[in-house]
Amino acid sequence: MAGVTFEHVSKRFEDTTAVDDLTMVIPDREFLVLVGPSGCGKSTVLRMLAGLETITGGEVKIGDRVVNHVPAKDRDIAMVFQSYALYPHMSVYDNMAFSLTLKKMPKAEIKRKVHEAAELLGIEALLGRKPRQLSGGQRQRVALGRAIVRDPAVFLFDEPLSNLDAKLRVQTRAEITKLHQRLGTTFIYVTHDQVEAMTMATRIAVLSAGRLQQLGTPQEVYAEPTNVFVAGFIGSPATNFFRGVVRDEGEGMSIDTGDFKLRVNPGRQAPLKDYIGREVIAGVRPEHIHDAAYQPADTETDELDVQVDVTEMMGNESLLHLVAGQSKLLARVDPRTKARPGEPLRIAIDTTELMAFDPETELALR
C-alpha cells in the first residue's frame, strides 16, 4: 500500500497541453476521484501514473519512489478499464490468474488468491465460465478480481462503469466503495459522472482544460466551490447562475439582476462589501429554490414571483423550469407543489446558500 504524489506534472502532445502543472498529494488508503468533462485531462493523469504515457515535466511518486522512468509492469499498480479487457478464450479463473501465472507463482497460491477474490466479489460460481457467458456486471467483477489478486499498492479505475446500465451502475459503485473499505488500499478513480464522484470519493479532484480546479471532500466542493466552473459542474441539476449588481439597501444588501432583486443573507454579505455598485455572478442550486407554499421550516429565504414554464414530476421531487423576466431558473421542489405550466408561482430562495463570484476571474467571493 502506498500514497501517490504529483509534483508540477505536465503532459503535452505537440501543441496541445493535456495536463498543466498538476500538484496533488493522495494519501495512502484514500479513495480519490478525478472528475471533469471529456478532454479535461483526467484519463491522461491516470495513464501517466500507470506508466502508459510519458511525462513531459514534473515528478510522479508512488510512496517515496519517483516512477517517471519505471516501466508500467514494475510500478505495483493494477488498472480496471472501461472495456473490461478480458481474454475471451480463457475462463474466468484463468483471466483472474493470468498475471500470477506470468509471475510463476505456485499453483496452490494462485488458487488461494483467485478463490479469495472471487468470494469477496460473489463470483465463485462463475469461475468456470467464459466472458461471453457473463453479463456486463459480471464481467466488471471479473476485471476487479483480476486486479485484486495482484495485491497492488494502488488501484486505478478508468471509467469502469460506463458500459453498464443505470441500475447496474448504482449497484456496482456501491460494491466498489465497499471493496475499498475492505481492502484498505489507495483507489484512484476517473469518471466524467459527478454523481459517481460525489457518492464514492473520500476526496474529489475537479479538472478542466488540463488544470486542477479544486481538491477537497465531496461536501467541500459542493458547498464551497472554488470558482464558477466547479459550482456548475458539481451538483445535478446544475447550479443556476445570473449576473446582477450588488446594492446597498441600508440595513442589508441585495443583488439586482434587472428582472428581480435577491436579498443577500447577513452571513454572506462580508465578501460583497467591495462590490457595492458593481456586478457579480450569483449562483443558487436548484435544491435551494422552493415552492413558497412548501418550503422547509427554519430556512432563511427571500420570496419572488415567477412564471412556471415546464414541470417535470420525478416522484420524490418535482423539477420546475421558471421564468422571471429574461432570467430562467431551475428549481427542485417538494412533489406536493401545485405549480402548473403557464401559471404564476411564488418561490422561496434559501439565502444562506447563495454563492457569489467575481465576474472577471470567476473565483468565489468568500
Q: Using one digit for the tens of pLDDT, what is the confidence trace for 326-357?
A: 999 999 999 999 999 999 999 999 999 999 99
Euclidean distance between CA atoms 320 and 324, whole angstroms: 13
Averaged pLDDT, 205-229: 97
User: From its phi and psi, is residue 51 left (phi > 0), alpha (psi between -120 and 50) or beta?
Assistant: left
The mean pLDDT value for 160-166 works out to 82
CATH number at 4-232:
3.40.50.300
CB atoms within 10 A of CB 157: 25
Q: Where in the chain is the domain with CATH 2.40.50.140?
A: 240-357
pLDDT at 84 over 80: no
CATH topology assigned to domain 240-357:
OB fold (Dihydrolipoamide Acetyltransferase, E2P) (2.40.50)
- How many beta carbons lie within 10 A of that of residue 323, not counting itself? 14
Task: Please give the full DSSP string across 315-330, using - where no structure is assigned.
Answer: SS-EEEEEEETTEEEE
5-17 pLDDT, tens digit each = 999 999 999 889 9
Decide if 326 contacts 231 (C-beta within 8 A).
no
Q: Where in the chain is the domain with CATH 3.40.50.300?
A: 4-232
Element (H, E) at 33: strand 31-35
pTM of the predicted model as reported, rounded to 2 decimal places: 0.89
Task: For 67-163, list the strands marked E by DSSP.
Answer: 77-80, 154-158
Q: Grid cell 441600508 — which residue?
A: 250
